[in-house]
Amino acid sequence: MRDRACDDCAVGKVSDAGAAQCTDCVAGKYMDSEGQITCRDCAVGHYCPVPGLATQTICAAGGFAPAPGGAVECTVCAPGQYMSLEGSTACVDCVKGFYCPPGRVFEEASEQTPCPVGMNSPKRARTCTKCPYEEWCVEGKCNEGHKGLACDMCLMNWYMDSVGKELG
């Protein structure tokens, strides 16, 4: 009668001492070495979508995985936010005067869409808002003396007459 030989578990699999077989690492975990007894959590900015993985996958630009401990997918940035780097842990808000439409992935911060003339936006906008008078908003920003989402309010020490004409 022959003795049974012990073999290392393959990558992506683990076993306890004396186990009859190896088991796959669960989704959200991986193992990149042979002969291990526990799987590793996917790191921040990475995910492990299926069981039995030997490597973790980095989140692409436009998504993130905020915490270690078993991400099975990356979270897509919300409308009004972007992420231009791979392996990120959070998204960044689009800046005032620009917007980030839903479903668009920004590779660079410079790809945020500027509001057209006559429109403005707050930080983290998914669309722009029309200003009552085009000349109050230029390149997504309020002109001098104006404030507010539609640039329809005056800064301190500025006022507006009853027909909407600015007076300094």
Per DSSP, the three-state class of 163 is coil
- pLDDT score of 164: 45
| Residue 118 sits in the same domain as residue 168 | yes
Q: Is the pTM of this model over 0.75?
A: no
CA separation, residue 63 to residues 25, 30, 103, 111, 135 (Å): 24, 20, 11, 16, 37
Number of domains in the chain: 2
Within a domain: residue 89? Answer: no
- pLDDT score of 125: 83
Between CA 118 and CA 111 the distance in angstroms is: 20
Between CA 157 and CA 168 the distance in angstroms is: 8
- pLDDT score of 105: 67
Please list the ranges in the chain whose pLDDT falls under 70: 1-4, 102-110, 139-140, 161-168
Binning the chain into helix, strand and coil, the percentages to the nearest 5 are: 5, 25, 70
Within a domain: residue 86? Answer: no
| Residue 69 sits in the same domain as residue 6 | yes
Give the domain extent around 98. 94-104+113-168
